[in-house]
Amino acid sequence: MKILVQKYGGTSVANQSRMQEVARRIVRCQEQGHAMVVVVSAMNHTTEDLIAAARRINPNPSPRAMDMLLATGEQMSVSLLAMAIEGLGHNVVSLTGGMSGIYTDQRHKKARIARVDSQRIMAELGKGNIVLVAGFQGVTPEGEITTLGRGGSDTTAVALAAAVVAERCEICTDVDGVYTADPNLIATARRLPEITYDEMLELSRLGAGVLSTRSVELAKEYGIPLVVRSAFSDDGGTQVVEVSVVEQVLVRGVTLDSDISRISVAGVPDRPGIAFGLFSKLASEGISVDMIIQNLNRAQVNDISFTVAKEDAPAAVQACWAFLESIGGHGLVLQKDNAAKISIVGTGITGSTEVASTLFGTLFESGINIEMISTSEIKISCIIDASEGEEALRRLHRAFSLDELELR
């Protein structure tokens, strides 16, 4: 059986006519000889609306209660899409994450898939059904509903593709591939016909929301052929591959993440164990920390700065104050919310001194101050003021000639 896993995002099933179009497309793929497993996201802004509705009832709902609510968004779209396919006279079954055998750990709102039991899906395919699965959700072994974090339907799709040994996994969305920058911010951005797992992983981590980071990690780990393509057109597409043989460019893309806060813990004693104590405290609260900088300051005193996702900032600040208290109350916690991270990504870029000097030179010429820098083998990131984020993105896209990239 040749199994194709497709995933349709929120805008692709935003209303009745789009849903019907997607239904026809799925049926066409089945008629071309594929056994179809289709993962669906919640319609358009449903997840945001559910979050807002929850906040109106209780500003701080429990993660379990949130998951009960958020999972309904995908349940609604998967049911409606099944009805659209029934209307076309095809056999179809809609399943929740739990019904399709997606088991996760207990971490509500950011659960990790621990195991996929594909028996039910395989049985339904065996009966000739198109199988529709609600994205972004699973169950714990105790049967509690969990969700996988924002963008989690991509993760569902790749995990299912691995479990059913699919031919490939297609992420069908509102853009026709992965671009050199977010095409909704940079009009001259170019579609990349091919990108490596590692480059895609970096782009996702650094804010290119077109694929969830976990989905790319899973695709790389299980060697799943992954394609990003338009939900409505057969043209274009980006293949995510192990090794790219397309054009030899150094910088593959530019990303902007405006959803971050910078936190500084100022005036902590300069002695062994301080960084360990601080970051252990943050880790014990489940807060992921990104860039870290420590400045040697005045005599015997250091400042440590780091970045976190904006939504984690209040908890991080609280954890920092608690840490300062535990070491005798020295120091201060400062928070800057209007920070943004601008990054360039490409295999081997840190091996080229020219790339770094073009990056820093472009920001300098644009009068943009760099607050923090971090590098890895395939990326360079700078923290800048959020008000200058889009300007920096545009200037860097041009400086690295990404709008002129020759693509086949």
**Nearest distance, CB of residue 291 and Mg ion, angstroms:** 25
Q: Which does residue 389 touch among ligand ADP, Mg ion, ligand ASP, none (CB within 5 to 8 A, set by kind)?
A: none
**Nearest distance, CB of residue 11 and Mg ion, angstroms:** 9
* Distance in angstroms (rounded) separating the CA atoms of residues 279 and 288: 9
* Distance in angstroms (rounded) separating the CA atoms of residues 173 and 188: 19
**Nearest distance, CB of residue 372 and ligand ADP, angstroms:** 22
Q: Which is nearer to ligand ASP, 14 or 327 (CB)?
A: 14
* Distance in angstroms (rounded) separating the CA atoms of residues 195 and 361: 27
Q: Which is nearer to Mg ion, 151 or 389 (CB)?
A: 151
Q: Which does residue 183 touch among ligand ADP, Mg ion, ligand ASP, none (CB within 5 to 8 A, set by kind)?
A: ligand ADP
* Distance in angstroms (rounded) separating the CA atoms of residues 124 and 206: 38
* Distance in angstroms (rounded) separating the CA atoms of residues 275 and 124: 53
Tell me: does residue 62 bind ligand ADP (CB under 6 A): no
Nearest position to ligand ADP, beta carbon: 9
- For ligand ADP, the binding residues in 197-216 under the rule CB under 6 A are 203, 208-210
Q: Which is nearer to ligand ASP, 182 or 388 (CB)?
A: 182
**Nearest distance, CB of residue 334 and Mg ion, angstroms:** 33
E strands, 53-120, in order: 92-95, 102-104, 113-116
Of 101, 138, 253, 346, which lies in the binding site for ligand ADP, with binding defined by CB under 6 A?
A: 253
Q: Which is nearer to ligand ASP, 10 or 237 (CB)?
A: 10
Of 97, 98, 138, 151, which lies in the binding site for Mg ion, with binding defined by CB under 5 A?
A: 151
Tell me: does residue 41 bind ligand ADP (CB under 6 A): yes
E strands, 73-119, in order: 92-95, 102-104, 113-116
- Burial readout 153-167 (b: 16 or more C-beta within 10 A, e: otherwise): bbbbbbbbbbbbebb
Backbone angles phi, psi at 160, to 5 degrees: -70, -40
Question: By rule CB under 5 A, what count of residues binds Mg ion?
Answer: 2
Q: Which two tokens stand for residue 149?
A: 């974090």
- Burial of residue 180 (number of CB atoms within 10 Å: 0-12, 13-18, 19+): buried
Question: Site residues (CB under 6 A) for ligand ADP?
Answer: 9-12, 41, 151, 173-175, 178-179, 181-184, 203, 208-210, 253
